[in-house]
Amino acid sequence: MDIKELFTFDDVLLVPRVSRVSSRKDVDTSSNLTPEIRLSIPIMSSNMDTVTEAVMAIAMAKNGGVGAIHRFSTIEEEAEQVRKVKREQSAVIGRPYSVSPYSTFAEIKKFVDETNITSFPVVDRGKLVGIITKRDFQFEKDEKKLVKDLMTKDVITARVGISIQDAKKILTREKIEKLPLLDSKGKLVGMMTAKDIRIAESYSNASKDKNGRLIVGASVGIGSDYLERTKALIEAEADFIVVDVANGYLQKTADAVRSIKKTFNVQVIAGNVATKEGVENLKRAGADSIKVGIGPGGACLTRTVAGVGYPQLSAIIECSKSGIPIIADGGITKSADFAKAMAGCADIVMIGSLIAGTDESPGSIVTKSNSNYKFYRGMASVNAFASKALKLDEDVDIGGYTPEGTEMLIPYKGSAIKIINNLVGGLRSAMTYLGAANIEEFRKNARFVKLTEAGKRESKYL
């Protein structure tokens, strides 16, 4: 039997090159997530239920990366997370929340609590008839009163397609905060707000779609509902779908990819695999990008339980030879790992445990022994499996389930953006050492050297 010598991040170092790059600020870190989606920074937050919901996805996209919403929820819950991201930072809000003139004040209060929005256009049979804001009902006591009796009826509007600059002039001149957008028939088709315009202009490197909204992905499995779930997520305007399977070698994974690509016009990311054979199988099925990593994640027990895996750096290098964007999923514990993954020809790096335990990750902070923590778990852990079954009302045998993921409390870390900035700073530094002005040059200039045990100690890896 031929046994290969394979490597992970701490086994190697990058070799410096003579560099004409004068500053870390001068390098371009942009890279392709899929053939149609390019990110300013090559980082994607993991589609895990203790890592990425709307808050994390928003933070990632605002800062040039992207997030993928996890699938361990009902279809409607996941779709709503996508909608929250798409509404967050768009100069134009498509499909704005609206209310009927015959809704009661009690219904409005409930809607405010559900959406955290305090003003709504009032629409009757598709046409705008007014607008109701917090100032219209902040002192109202009668919960039976109808919206039509509370709303502002004279509404300043604009035609859909108006430029941001012209919209700003109207908002300033009329001293209003919201500008409903109507089509030629007077139907409400969008909304512009002063707040959204200010926010949209403040994040110059944000990951945005063609309409200026934040980019977000969402996950599906390979169970019986994956087409139904995909349809709902696309209707919620997810920019890409992640076919999320721990074992991407299953034929059902390729079948799901093929079916989604045949049914919908959407970019599809599939995985996980760790060899060129696995990449080629999913590529033939129609995947636009492949997640690479079997067992390197901080909460993954696949290698311990099944004895299956592939050292992550070698997996990235091998899988990158197939000519399709590669997402390195797992094993990133520091900025040096990030740089080595990108030098090894990853197009994007996915991170989970690094940004779990942050302000943006789902879950509450808990205190133990005077220290603060947040909960983190692998998606193949017992509780994740049980939680998914409970939410989706599935009849499963927990006792017969062998977990390939673990669960833990991890120290509270503050803002995820600080961690992201440190990762990108390390990548920028590595690029200057290798004389690379962009990611393509970085890969071309990269040479790795193997470390001895003494070399690992010298590098502070032991």
Alpha-carbon distance of 121 to 396, in angstroms, equals: 45
Over residues 146-154, the mean pLDDT reads 86
pLDDT of residue 105: 85
Record the pTM: 0.81
pLDDT band at residue 144, thresholds of 50, 70 and 90? confident
3-class SS at 187?
Answer: strand
SS (H, E, C) 102-161: CCEHHHHHHHHHHHCCCCEEEEECCEEEEEECHHHHCCCCCCCCEHHHCCECCCCCEECC
Task: Output helix, strand, coil percentages for the chain, rounded to the nearest 5.
Answer: 35, 20, 40
Over residues 64-81, the mean pLDDT reads 96
Rounded to 5°, angle at Cα 327 from 322 and 331 = 120
CB 397 within 8 A of CB 381: no
pLDDT of 161 over the 60 cut: yes
CB 20 within 8 A of CB 432: no
In 3D space, the residue among 132, 134, 135 whose CA is nearest the CA of residue 155 turns out to be 132
Q: Please, what are the domains in the chain?
A: 9-89+205-458 (3.20.20.70), 93-202 (3.10.580.10)
Q: What token pair was written down for 253?
A: 């994974």
pLDDT of residue 457: 95
Higher pLDDT, 128 or 339: 339
Chain centroid to CA 373: 23
pLDDT of 454 over the 80 cut: yes
pLDDT band at residue 392, thresholds of 50, 70 and 90? low
Alpha-carbon distance of 179 to 97, in angstroms, equals: 14
pLDDT of residue 300: 85
Determine phi and psi for 448, rounding to 5 degrees.
Answer: -105, 145
Higher pLDDT, 390 or 38: 38
The proportion of the chain whose per-residue pLDDT surpasses 70, expressed as a percent, equals 94
Task: Give whole-number Cα distances, 202 to 41, 99, 193, 248, in Å.
Answer: 17, 30, 14, 39
DSSP string, 436-449: -SBHHHHHHH--EE
What digits encode the pLDDT tens for the residues 229-275?
999 999 999 999 999 999 999 999 999 999 999 999 999 999 899 99
Q: In what order do the strands lie in the sheet with 371-377?
A: 366-368, 371-377, 407-411
Helix (H) or strand (E) holding 254: helix 251-263
pLDDT of 147 over the 90 cut: no
pLDDT of residue 124: 87
Q: Is 300 a catalytic residue?
A: yes
Mean pLDDT taken over the chain: 90
Over residues 61-87, the mean pLDDT reads 95
3-class SS at 174?
Answer: helix
pLDDT of residue 416: 97
pLDDT band at residue 174, thresholds of 50, 70 and 90? confident
pLDDT of 325 over the 90 cut: yes
pLDDT of 201 over the 80 cut: no
Residue 83 C-beta-side C-alpha neighbours within 13 Å: 15
Q: Which of 300, 313, 343, 451 is catalytic?
A: 300
Q: Let me know if 198 is exposed, middle or buried by CB neighbors in 10 A (0-12, 13-18, 19+).
A: exposed
Alpha-carbon distance of 164 to 159, in angstroms, equals: 12
pLDDT of 93 over the 80 cut: no
Q: Is the dihedral of CA 31, 34, 35, 38 positive or negative?
A: negative
pLDDT of residue 301: 85
Over residues 191-201, the mean pLDDT reads 78
Determine phi and psi for 406, rounding to 5 degrees.
Answer: -115, 170
pLDDT of residue 170: 92
pLDDT of 400 over the 60 cut: no
3-class SS at 452?
Answer: coil
pLDDT of residue 351: 97
Most confident of 62-71, 203-212, 357-366: 62-71
DSSP string, 195-220: HHHHHHHH-TT--B-TTSPBP-EEEE
